Amino acid sequence: MSPSNTPVSKKVLVASYVLSVLPVLMLLMSGVMKLLKPAPVVEGFGKFGYPEHLIVVLGVLEIACTVIYLIPRTSFLGAILVTGYLGGATATHVRVGDPAFCAPAMLGVLVWGGLYLRDPRLRALIPLRAAN
């Protein structure tokens, strides 16, 4: 049986979706808040040194990457895009000395953890156990 045909148990599948829910909800909420541009978001962008005109652009980008991750057929691409987006967020927090820099990094770990559990092709590509 090839790795792409190996079935995923129902428990593992449920765990994968549980792992994926938190980052998806956080990214969608963050993206929508950027589209709405409330005062705390505008102030936060100023604190991080980004111009206000980029808020909506980054919100659209964040939502688009998350939607691509949500579509099973494009989830690998979405995970890569979300990882890049969150990498930029992590770097931004580190640059200004914000101690919350680990939050976007942890979201990225959850994105890949959920995908790893539900997709046998990823588990075959990156085995976490030693070969016998």
* Cα gap 103→91, rounded to integer Å: 11
* Cα gap 109→38, rounded to integer Å: 28
Residue range 16-24: mean pLDDT, rounded = 95
Q: Which residue has the higher pLDDT, 124 or 4?
A: 124
Residue range 79-107: mean pLDDT, rounded = 95
DSSP-assigned letter for residue 74:
G
In this predicted structure, the answer to whether residue 132 has a pLDDT above a threshold of 70 is no
With beta carbons less than 8 A apart as the criterion, state whether 118 and 7 touch.
no
Tokens 């045909």: give the residue.
5
| Banded model confidence at residue 92, pLDDT cuts 50, 70, 90 | very high
Q: Express as a percent the part of the chain with pLDDT over 90.
A: 83
Query: What residues have CB less than 8 Å from 119, skipping those under 6 apart?
Result: 8, 75, 76
